[in-house]
Amino acid sequence: MVTIDNFKSDNFFLMAGPCVIEGEEMALQIAEKILHITEKLSIPYIFKGSYRKANRSRIDSFTGIGDEKALKILRKVHETFGIPTVTDIHENQEAAMAAEYVDVLQIPAFLCRQTDLLIAAAKTGKIVNIKKGQFLSPAAMEFAAQKVVDAGNNNVMITERGTTFGYTDLVVDCRGIPQMQQFGFPVVMDVTHSLQQPNQTSGVTGGLPALIETVAKAAIAVGADGLFIETHPDPTVAKSDGANMLKLDLLEELLVKLVRIREAIR
């Protein structure tokens, strides 16, 4: 069983991969390339891929290739490369199902206050990564994490992903990272989702990927335990959230810079 202790090191850890599983070949290609980079840089790595996207603005948005098919691909990534995997869940009954295939269950930001969902995730014994709601203060996340602990699971991570700023933008307050670390759990910075520009009139979320390096550097500089980055070989054709994803070919150069910052602050 993978626990949060697996990701404790002198370096930050990385949760990275495509927004959604689009197919087996793509998932394996991305995982292999990122693993090659993270092994060189001694960065603990968790492959990220949503098996289904339930929180889309428009009914015609891509949601996935099928639950079981995508979950089996996540399992194959784990078996092929020996790395842990993480995926989102949205409803209580999904927790036990997804736990059969992945090592970390992620609670989307919109659902971070859903008590039954948090408890269902906790009872699987898997690591539970709770994304901070765009509508919550960092201090409020202590109660979300405590629900998981009170359900008998101490394997909790908290992820910052920006705070609502007006109707169509988000802002990152890096003070929240050390504030949430005081709860005793690893704190992750979701670099790419924090650069979304949601609620566009088109119904398709926009983004500011040119600022990925800026947000990532700031997060490591203030001591974030981990980073969450969605990446794709060609974000322009990604089936979900391409507007704020990092192009896969740019990841290594970014991580090299971040490792240097981490070394400087140690």
Residue 94 CB coordination number (10 Å): 20
Pick the CATH number of 4-265 from 3.20.20.70, 3.40.1550.10, 3.40.50.720, 1.10.579.10: 3.20.20.70
**DSSP alpha helix (H) spans, the chain:** 24-41, 67-81, 92-99, 115-123, 141-150, 176-181, 212-221, 251-265
In angstroms, the CA 207 to CA 199 distance is: 11
At residue 56, the pLDDT reads 65
Would you give per-residue pLDDT tens digits along the chain (266 residues)? 899 999 989 999 999 999 999 999 999 999 999 999 999 999 999 999 999 987 766 776 777 799 999 999 999 999 999 999 999 999 999 999 999 999 999 999 999 999 999 999 999 999 999 999 999 999 999 999 999 999 999 999 999 999 999 888 899 999 999 999 999 999 999 999 999 887 666 666 778 889 999 999 999 999 999 999 999 999 999 887 778 899 999 999 999 999 999 999 98
Q: What is the SS3 assignment for 12?
A: coil
* Residue ranges of domains in the chain: 4-265
Structure tokens that stand for 121 in this block: 């995730």
CA angle 61, 104, 130 (to 5 degrees): 70
At residue 204, the pLDDT reads 66
Q: Is the dihedral of CA 149, 151, 155, 158 positive or negative?
A: negative
At residue 59, the pLDDT reads 73
